[in-house]
Amino acid sequence: MKMRFFICLAVFLLCESAWAIAPSDYAHLFKVDLDEELPPIEELRKQFYPKPVYDRKFRYYWAIGPVFDQEFAQTIKSYGTRTKRLKWEGEDELYEMISSMPKSYYEYIGPYLHTVPGIPEKILNMPGIKETKNKFPSRVAPQFQDIENLEMMSPAYYFLLMPELWPDDSSPQEYKAVQVLPEPDNKYDPKKFEDIAKIVKPEDFMPGAKVNSPVEKRLRTIKPDENSPLTTPDIIAVVATLKDLGNFADDVFVQAKIAETGFLLDSWEKARGTGPGVPYLKDLVAPCARLVQKLRLAGLDREFKTVIAKQGFNEKEWAYTCDKTIKAYRLLNMTQSEVLTVKLFRKNVLADELSGMNYKYGPLIAATMQGTVERFNAPIEDMLEVKKNSALVKKVLRDNRMRIVGQRIYMQ
């Protein structure tokens, strides 16, 4: 919930300083270099693991130690009896963000803030925020004014009603639903097949005949890279590996290792300026290539290599082919809201808002916007090839709970 709120809130954050910024400026941060040499995991742990706020004096409950510690005993005895509110991480940043926003935005975020547990009183009692409790926004974008019972929508989505978010020529209902009629029940008609034979000659499909479709589309890609086109055999091979990898992350130890290496990779790239700075955003854009990096860093890649080798893949070839398949599948199944969002970000419709953002938050928000674009960045040819095999891809993803060894395919 915290992450969803920060992303939604950040889209509308305006500050006083002006500087040029666009989501496309951050496209290079989403490339996963599988040839990059990663530091040893122990080195990253020492560098990025935060020091514990309180020293428990022991690591495991079965090895507490033989010496009685009076301070430790007193702390344990009083734990859970405190009534003082604990400050959560990011509280001051949230207050700073809201304070720098135009007051006209408060009526769109204030009602939601009053429903979120743990929001500090100093935020809820801010002038302009305090008065919005249980109130519906006074200004609603023209695109929504004709909707009945609009006031019944969740306060978490009030920000969508802001007129400034919607250009005059845009609409939330950009595409009309197309009614798909059931296919007719055709009966056998000899004349129909005679007419077809005049157009498509049977001898074209006999042994030795020249096939109109490119041969490449019917074969596996040799040494696939980031730019090589997808073929149906490529997709079928990826699906087979995903079936075999379905239970790979069921082990709690493996799950913990992958989660840890994800945190360490994000922290390392943020420190070097080679990542978007938003936790796990790069993982969402390129889940397969990122998985290869995590398994290498965690030392869990031996079994993984054995699985993908059954389909003739090495790590890099599998990562490229798998990510292209996933992106094409996302593109094939885009919702109307996702299409509209990607169009807005690609056209940089929110350029004025981005240019006015604080130097601290602007890059994070722009990177998040570009991450949304990158998730659907696939050639039409790849999407059409995945469409032929969409049932196979859909089934294996559903069987794996829309994840690839724990890596998310969609935002959740």
Per-residue pLDDT reduced to its tens digit, 117-159: 888 888 999 999 999 999 999 999 888 888 888 888 999 999 8
267 and 389 part of one domain: yes
Residue 87 CA, distance from chain mean position: 28
- Residue 175 pLDDT greater than 60, yes or no: no
Confidence of residue 54 (pLDDT cuts 50, 70, 90): low
**Least confidently predicted of 34-43, 98-107, 356-365:** 356-365
- Residue 180 pLDDT greater than 60, yes or no: no
Report the pLDDT value the prediction gives residue 2, as an integer from 0 to 100: 47
Does residue 210 lie within any of the structural domains? no
Average pLDDT over residues 191-198: 74
Does residue 310 lie within any of the structural domains? yes
What percent of the residues of the chain are helix, what percent strand, and what percent coil, each to the nearest 5?
Answer: 55, 0, 45
169 and 228 part of one domain: no
Q: Are 315 and 34 in contact (CB under 8 A)?
A: yes
* Average predicted confidence (pLDDT) for the chain: 82
12 and 157 part of one domain: yes
353 and 264 part of one domain: yes
Does residue 48 lie within any of the structural domains? no
157 and 278 part of one domain: no
- Residue 234 pLDDT greater than 70, yes or no: yes
d(CA 389, CA 230): 12
Report the pLDDT value the prediction gives residue 15, as an integer from 0 to 100: 37
Does residue 71 lie within any of the structural domains? no
Q: How far is CA 356 from CA 17, 103, 295, 379, in A?
A: 6, 15, 40, 33
Average pLDDT over residues 35-41: 92
Please say which residue of 173, 197, 228 terminates a domain: 173
d(CA 288, CA 392): 18
User: Cβ of 303: how many Cβ atoms within 10 Å?
Assistant: 11
List pLDDT tens digits, range 263-280. Answer: 999 999 999 999 998 999
**Least confidently predicted of 21-35, 74-88, 298-312, 388-402:** 74-88
- Residue 83 pLDDT greater than 70, yes or no: no
230 and 146 part of one domain: no
262 and 378 part of one domain: yes
d(CA 269, CA 275): 5
281 and 393 part of one domain: yes
Q: Which two tokens stand for residue 157?
A: 């989505």
Please say which residue of 117, 140, 173 terminates a domain: 173
What lies within 8 Å, CB to CB, of 396 at 6+ separation is 239, 242, 243, 246
223 and 165 part of one domain: no
d(CA 86, CA 47): 27
- Residue 85 pLDDT greater than 90, yes or no: no
- Residue 17 pLDDT greater than 50, yes or no: no
What lies within 8 Å, CB to CB, of 311 at 6+ separation is 237, 238, 240, 241, 318
Q: Are 291 and 6 in contact (CB under 8 A)?
A: no
| Higher local confidence (pLDDT), 340 or 359 | 340
284 and 387 part of one domain: yes
Q: Are 44 and 267 in contact (CB under 8 A)?
A: yes
228 and 163 part of one domain: no
d(CA 383, CA 330): 9
Q: Is 235 exposed, middle or buried (0-12, 13-18, 19+ CB in 10 A)?
A: buried
Does residue 113 lie within any of the structural domains? yes
Q: What percent of the chain has pLDDT over 90?
A: 41
Does residue 159 lie within any of the structural domains? yes
Does residue 188 lie within any of the structural domains? no
Confidence of residue 248 (pLDDT cuts 50, 70, 90): confident
Please say which residue of 142, 173, 204 terminates a domain: 173
**Least confidently predicted of 12-16, 47-51, 380-384, 386-390:** 12-16
Owning domain of residue 4: 1-16+100-173
- Residue 186 pLDDT greater than 70, yes or no: no
Confidence of residue 194 (pLDDT cuts 50, 70, 90): confident
Residue 15 CA, distance from chain mean position: 27
The string over 272-283, giving b where at least 16 C-beta atoms fall within 10 Å of a residue's C-beta and e elsewhere, is: eeebbbbebbbb
158 and 276 part of one domain: no
Q: What's the domain count of the chain?
A: 2
Report the pLDDT value the prediction gives residue 291, as an integer from 0 to 100: 95
Does residue 128 lie within any of the structural domains? yes
Confidence of residue 218 (pLDDT cuts 50, 70, 90): low
**Least confidently predicted of 24-28, 171-175, 299-303, 393-397:** 171-175
Confidence of residue 357 (pLDDT cuts 50, 70, 90): confident
Report the pLDDT value the prediction gives residue 53, as an integer from 0 to 100: 57
**Least confidently predicted of 62-66, 179-183, 198-202, 338-342:** 179-183
Report the pLDDT value the prediction gives residue 113, as an integer from 0 to 100: 93
